[in-house]
Each structure stands twice: as structure tokens, then as C-alpha cells.
Amino acid sequence: MKNIFSINPVALRELRQLVRSKIITMSLAIFPGILFVFTMLAVSTAMRDKPPEELAFGDGLGEGPFTMVSVITGLVACLGIPFYATMKAIMETKRDATGLEFTTALTPANIIGGRLAATAILIGATVATAMPFFIFAYLLRGIPLEQVFLMPFGLFAYGLSTFAIALSVACRQGSVAMKVITTVLLFFLLTIFSSVSQISLMTIGSHSETPSTLATTTYILLSLVATLVFFRAYCASLLSPPHVDGERPFRRVVFALFLLSSTLAFYSLDACNAWCITWVSIAGVLLIQSALSPREIPRAARGSAPRGFFRRLLAFPFTTGAVPGMLFAFLIIAVAGGIFSLRVKDGDEILILCSVVAEVTFAPILVGAILRRKKALPRTYRFAGWIMIALLCLVSVISFMAEVRAISSGAGEMLPCNFAGINEHPIEHFRNYGILLLFSVVIVAVSSISAFRKYRKPE
């Protein structure tokens, strides 16, 4: 542990401050007591109307206590701690207005990473405190073993992702009052649209043993990882100090990623597929992209450009992140192809409804927020991005209406969640695939030409 903290001073500082926080220490002290009381209440309620023989040989009593522990831990880990950590970050951005951290060797990625690490430890401690109660519920029977492990992991991933999203509010420019209002609204929206869907889906996924629903659970967990990775990068880009060059390929590529993911959603014309494809793509691509792309390019990288035009042309991709950009373009196509080839045959009403709601609300908000950053993107992206948002909204709403109509008419076993259907029409599939490839190449080419024009000639 000592080595981990020595790597990131921000994480160490945050943890030291958390230890001194009366709210946190009191909450952590009271939390096991609350869990104990409510678990016992749930057990006694479950036992009340059951005869002794059913208690000994029946389905078990674990479900009630398990749900109770999940809800309480979820409230603390997914809402309480992220909200507290976000408010703390907002207050600190006001207090440390001079940005002294940027006069040190710390990078924005270090600062964001440190905050996430400290919050991860706090959420981890909370979930770990709840673990004995989850296991107690398992011992009461009625809960599959994998669910006992899946739920804490899901809560941890969800809590941390929530904090990553909310942290982007704290990192933005603006007044403290506006940030606080935005954070409260954000948590309200996340609570309504996302946490319900995510947690309920995980519960559904673990109850069912069909491969497709397990795959769905995996998608959801991957989407949380993707959210976390994306917002880590986004927050770092918001924090970038002035001495870092304004030409930020990582941010450009992240945006392009969103754009292309939205394109995939558009081409899928199916809400469930669109949502899965979007987030799985983001997870895979961002993880690799974040490893490949230089996050911050110092001015020196452009200042030391070779003198000859052709030499500059050759050197440019390697100094400005265009190569990772190209890799990203091809990778996303490969990932998309892989996803298209999956066969998920069953559907679920909640999955469809929640995913469509998430798609309708979440993606446009995010893409819109990125687009509004005037300096963030070349103009070509912004124009294309707004068109894409309009299309995405239109298609999502149409899909949503179609799903609701299908569910209300009792469409039966085969709801329109049909990867298989796409595979039954290979020509259409390849046509879409080709258009996507063309679109990706055009986007990357335009941005690369734009960046090259700014690639400073040596004086």
C-alpha cells in the first residue's frame, strides 16, 4: 500500500483528509450497525409467516436480507460517497483557485487518478464492510453464490463510475453554486435513469443462467468500466493547465470515439444493440487508446518539428497522436464487427426500456457537453457532431416508441433485440460496415489535416 500511495500524492492527500473528516469516520462507524439492524429486521420479517419445516428445507430466507443489504450499501457506495467526494472536489477547486498543483510535476491525469483512487478505496471499504452481511444472506439460502460476489463488485464499479461522471462537473469552469446545482441534478438523473437499470439488470442477470443474460451482465459491467475510463480522461482534459498545448489529440480522439459509437447506434436501429455496442466499443477502444495516445503534448513537441516539409509530414503523426487516432479508427471497426457477430436471442423488457432511456438521455448529453467546449474540438467535428446528435436523438426516440409498442402488444418471446437478425442479412451488414469505415477514415483524415496545418514550422 505504501508503494501505491507514493506513486500518487493526490491519493495520499485525499485519504489523509478523509481520515480527518468527521462525516466519513462517523458514517463508517455507524454503517455496520445500520446494516446489522436492517438485516435482522429483514430476517425476522421473512421468518414471520413461515412454518418451521419450510425454514429448514424450503427455498431459504436469504433474498430479503440480501436485497436490504444491497439497497443500503448501494445508497452509501453509489450515491452518498460519490456525492460527498464531488462536493469536496467542488469546494477545493474554489479554494485552490491559483492551481498550485500545476506548478509541480503532477499532470492532470495524476490529479484525477489520485482523486479516483482515494474514492475507490473509500467505496471499497464500504463494500467490504457490507461483505459479511452479503455472505450471511447467502448462508440463509436462496441466493446464488455468484450473485454474492457480483453485487459488491457491481456496486463498487457503479459507485466509482458515478463519481467519475460527477467529478467532471467539479473540473469544469464556473461558479460553485452552479456546480452544486448541476451535481444535485446529475445525481437525481443518475439515480432515476441509471442506478435502477444497472442494479436491477445485474440482479436479473444473475438470477438467470442463460448465456445471453450473463453476457448482458458482462456488457453492463464493461460499460461501467468504459464510463470510468472515459470520464477519467475527460476530467483530465478539463483540468489541463495552460502550459499544455491546446492541440490535444487525446481529447479529439475521445470525441471521435463518441461520434463513431453514436454512428454504430444509428446503424443498429435497435436500442438494445445500440446501447451494448456503444459502450462495449468505448470500453475496448478507450482502454487501448489511453495506453497509446500521448495525453498532453508540450509545446516543445511542435517546436522541435523537423525543417523539411516531407520530414515534418513523416514526423507529425508520431508527435501529435495521429497514429493512435488511426489505430483507434481501425480498432473500433474491428470491435464493432465482433459485436455484430454476437448472437443474443432473448430480450427483456426492463433491459430494453432502461437501455433506451439511458441511450436517449445519456449519450446526447455527453456528446453535447463535449461539443460545447469551444476549444476542445476542430470546427469540422462540431458540425458533424451536432448533426449526429440530432440523428441519434431521432433514431433513439423512434426505437423507444417501437419497443414500447412491441411490449404493450405482447410480442412474446422474441422481442426486437436481434443481433441474430442482422447476421441473417450479411449484405446489409457489410454495407453498413463499409459506410462506417468510410466515415471513420474521413473523420480521422480531416482532423489529421487540420492538426498538420497547425503543426508549427520551426522559426
State the minimum distance, in angstroms, from the CB of residue 6 to other proteins. 6
Q: Does 425 bind other proteins (CB under 8 A)?
A: no
When the beta carbons of 213 and 320 are compared against other proteins, the nearer one is 320
CB of 411 to other proteins, least distance (A): 57
Q: Does 95 bind other proteins (CB under 8 A)?
A: yes
CA distances from 264 to 20, 228, 339, 340 (A): 47, 21, 11, 10
Establish if 173 lies at the interface with other proteins (CB under 8 A): no
For other proteins, give the closer residue by CB, 203 or 240.
240
Does position 6 interact with other proteins (CB under 8 A)? The reply is yes
> What is the Cα 382 distance to its own chain's centre?
22
**Helix, strand or coil, per DSSP, at residue 298:** strand
| Cell reading at 401 | 416508441
Cell of residue 52, nine digits = 418451521
Contact between 421 and other proteins by CB under 8 A: the answer reads no
Q: Does 429 bind other proteins (CB under 8 A)?
A: no
Residue 106 touching other proteins (CB under 8 A): yes
- The b-or-e profile of 195-233 (16+ CB within 10 A means b, else e) is bebbbebbbebbeeeeebbeebbebbbbbbbbbbbbbbb
Among 9, 132, 294, 378, binds other proteins (CB under 8 A): 9
457 phi, psi to nearest 5 deg: -75, 140
Say if CB 339 and CB 277 are below 8 A apart: yes
Q: Is 51 in the site for other proteins (CB under 8 A)?
A: no
3-state secondary structure of 283: helix
With CB under 8 A as the contact rule, which of the stretches 100-108, 406-414, 423-431, 437-445 interacts with other proteins?
A: 100-108
104 binds other proteins (CB under 8 A): yes
Find the part of the chain contacting other proteins (CB under 8 A) among 4-12, 32-40, 180-188, 259-267.
Answer: 4-12
Contact flag: residue 12 with other proteins (CB under 8 A): yes
CA dihedral 325, 328, 329, 334 (to 10 degrees): 160
Determine, following the binding rule CB under 8 A, whether residue 456 of this chain makes contact with other proteins. Answer: no
Quick one: which of 33, 51, 52, 242 contacts other proteins (CB under 8 A)? Answer: 242
Please compute, for residue 323, the number of CA atoms within 13 A of its CA located in the half-sphere on the CB side. 11
Distance of closest approach, residue 118 Cβ to other proteins, in angstroms: 13
Between 6 and 218, whose beta carbon lies closer to other proteins?
A: 6
Report yes or no: 251 and 237 within 8 Å, Cβ to Cβ. Answer: yes
Least CB distance from residue 19 to other proteins, whole Å? 9
Q: Which lies closer to other proteins via its Cβ, residue 245 or residue 270?
A: 245
- Closest to other proteins by CB, 106 or 196: 106
Is 338 a binding residue for other proteins by CB under 8 A? The answer is: no
Please report how close the Cβ of residue 22 comes to other proteins at its closest, in angstroms: 9
Query: Residue 208 has what DSSP assignment?
Result: -
Asked if 98 interacts with other proteins (CB under 8 A), we say yes
| Of positions 1, 29, 56, 97, contacts other proteins by CB under 8 A | 97
Contact residues for 72 (Cβ-Cβ < 8 A; gap 6+): 34, 35, 38, 130
Residue nearer to other proteins on the CB measure, 63 or 92: 92
Is residue 173 helix, strand or coil?
Answer: coil
- Binding of residue 294 to other proteins (CB under 8 A): no
**What's the rounded Cα separation, in Å, for the pair 14 and 430?**
50
HSE (side-chain half, CA atoms, 13 Å) at 242: 3
Q: What residues from 244 to 273 belong to the interface with other proteins (CB under 8 A)? A: 244
| Terminal Cα distance for the chain, rounded | 48
303 binding other proteins? (CB under 8 A): yes
Among 29, 100, 177, 427, binds other proteins (CB under 8 A): 100
Give min distance, CB of 239 to other proteins, in A: 13
Q: Give the interface segment with other proteins, choosing from 298-306, 320-328, 365-373, 439-447 (CB under 8 A).
A: 298-306
What's the rounded Cα separation, in Å, for the pair 349 and 346? 10
Question: Phi and psi of 244, rounded to 5°?
Answer: -85, 140
Interior angle at CA 393, CA 387 and CA 396, nearest 5 = 135
**Residue 17 interacts with other proteins (CB under 8 A): yes or no:** yes
Binding site for other proteins (CB under 8 A): 6, 9-10, 12-13, 16-17, 20-21, 95, 97-106, 241-244, 298-300, 303
